[in-house]
């Protein structure tokens, strides 16, 4: 409890606008964080684990002390009690034994003293409280009881097939086999029978109902997309890409359906990005309703997330699409690269880490 009050006092300042982060361990085993153009050394020894969010970096240091870096400061959350943690755009969730808590902005919220199942998005958490035998949702500082059970069976709420969370929304099949959505702190029944499959993204749920009808729930409105189940579909932020049963590849974006063509597509959806090969084999990106050509072939390997896509083309150029712009970052041989939101980190030597963000280089 003393640690909790200490943490709250350290977090009492106003939270600044989210900054772009990345992190790495150098050849000397020192831990560095890239923070909006500045590179700061946080630890002299490699942390046991670290995870990067949009507003903070959380990590277990070499002695298993759980810490958070945000706004230029390192805060100790607890000493050797954290067994697991997750980081998203706005939340840090950490588990000590079976007690689950989150850091949401300047607030520390105890979700449950006894919890063994949970799923977290950017700003929402769905979790099962074993003490209360209740299934709950957390969003925007409020815990909402969604379902109450006298006895939870082992096969209920497996959190991999019946409960899914993304960004600001969650969907689940309850013990009565109803399909429900948790959105803006409200639980709503979408189907009174279990669905065959479903995926979630920001503001959106795509699913195939019991009658094999393909539907999309978007910002409180339900759309019947196809009377037949698609051959495949992927869901992101305000977007669903799918190959219909009729063979056409289409993209649903903010209520508008765009037909790309009749073919068997290579495609990937990550956050706001749809990366795909068009009918002529050209590599394109669908972003905020616009299509951009990146290359004349679809690459075997690419990384995509948030507003960005990166890959190395046949000319050995590291190319990046980010926020509607295309950059040729480097032609140097790469040892490694990673994408943290829209921050591209790449390694060109044994200890040469470089960052690329918003068209600017940092090292």
| pLDDT for the residue 157 | 63
| pLDDT for the residue 9 | 44
For residues 240-253, one letter each, b for 16 or more C-beta atoms within 10 angstroms of the residue's C-beta and e for the rest, the string is bbbbbeeebbbbbb
Number of Cβ within a 10 Å radius of residue 262: 12
Residue in the block written with tokens 């290359």: 295
DSSP 183-238: ETTEEEEEESS--SEEEEETTEEEEE-TTS-EEEEETTEEEEEESS--SEEEE-SS
Which residues of the chain does CATH 2.40.128 include? 1-112
Query: From the centroid of its chain, how far is CA 71?
Result: 21
Residue in the block written with tokens 């153009």: 37
H or E segment to which residue 10 belongs: helix 2-10
Tokens representing residue 271 in the block: 């956050």
Number of Cβ within a 10 Å radius of residue 290: 9
Sign (positive/negative) of CA torsion 49, 7, 35, 202?
Answer: positive
The pTM assigned to this predicted structure is 0.90
| pLDDT for the residue 5 | 41
**1-112 in CATH: which number?**
2.40.128
Query: From the centroid of its chain, how far is CA 254?
Result: 19
Query: From the centroid of its chain, how far is CA 278?
Result: 26
Question: SS3 for 9?
Answer: helix
User: Where do the DSSP E strands lie in 30-178?
Assistant: 31-35, 38-43, 49-52, 57-60, 65-70, 73-79, 84-87, 91-96, 99-104, 107-112, 115-120, 124-129, 134-139, 142-148, 163-166, 169-173
Going by C-beta distance under 8 Å and a sequence separation of 6 or more, which residues neighbour residue 154? none
Residue 257 · residue 240 · CB < 8 Å: no
| pLDDT for the residue 36 | 87
Using only C-alpha atoms, the chain has a radius of gyration, in whole angstroms, of 22
Q: What is the dihedral of CA 186, 187, 188, 191, to 10 degrees?
A: 160
Averaged over successive runs of 10 residues, the pLDDT of the chain (363 residues) comes to 44 50 93 93 96 95 95 91 93 94 94 94 94 94 87 60 94 92 96 96 98 98 97 98 98 97 97 98 97 97 96 96 97 94 93 93 90
Question: SS3 for 130?
Answer: coil
Sheet holding 256-262, edge to edge: 232-235, 239-243, 248-253, 256-262
């Amino acid at each position: 409890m003393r640690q909790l009050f200490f943490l709250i006092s350290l977090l009492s300042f106003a939270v600044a606008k989210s900054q772009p982060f990345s992190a790495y361990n150098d050849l000397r085993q020192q831990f560095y964080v890239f923070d909006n153009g500045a590179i700061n050394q946080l630890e002299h020894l490699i942390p046991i684990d670290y995870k990067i969010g949009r507003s903070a970096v959380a990590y277990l240091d070499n002695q298993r002390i759980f810490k958070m870096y945000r706004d230029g400061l390192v805060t100790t959350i607890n000493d050797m009690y954290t067994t697991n943690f997750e980081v998203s755009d706005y939340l840090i969730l950490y588990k000590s034994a079976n007690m689950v808590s989150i850091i949401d902005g300047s607030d520390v919220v105890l979700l449950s003293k006894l919890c063994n199942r949970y799923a977290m998005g950017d700003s929402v958490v769905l979790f099962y409280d074993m003490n209360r035998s209740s299934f709950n949702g957390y969003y925007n500082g409020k815990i909402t009881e969604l379902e109450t059970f006298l006895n939870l069976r082992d096969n209920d709420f497996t959190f991999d097939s019946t409960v899914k969370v993304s960004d600001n929304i969650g969907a689940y099949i309850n013990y009565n086999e109803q399909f429900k959505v948790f959105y803006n702190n409200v639980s709503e029944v979408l189907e009174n029978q279990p669905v065959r499959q479903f995926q979630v993204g920001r503001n959106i749920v795509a699913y195939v109902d019991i009658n094999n009808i393909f539907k999309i729930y978007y910002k409180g409105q339900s759309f019947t997309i196809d009377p037949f189940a698609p051959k495949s579909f992927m869901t992101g932020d305000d977007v669903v890409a799918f190959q219909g049963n009729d063979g056409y590849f289409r993209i649903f974006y903010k209520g508008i359906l765009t037909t790309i063509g009749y073919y068997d597509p290579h495609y990937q959806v990550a956050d706001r990005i749809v990366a795909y090969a068009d009918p002529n084999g050209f590599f394109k990106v669908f972003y905020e309703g616009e299509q951009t050509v990146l290359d004349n072939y679809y690459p075997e390997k690419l990384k995509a997330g948030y507003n960005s896509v990166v890959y190395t083309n046949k000319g050995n150029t590291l190319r990046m699409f980010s926020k509607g712009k295309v950059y040729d970052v480097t032609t140097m041989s790469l040892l490694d690269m990673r994408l943290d939101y829209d921050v591209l980190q790449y390694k060109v030597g044994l200890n040469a880490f470089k960052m690329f963000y918003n068209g600017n280089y940092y090292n």
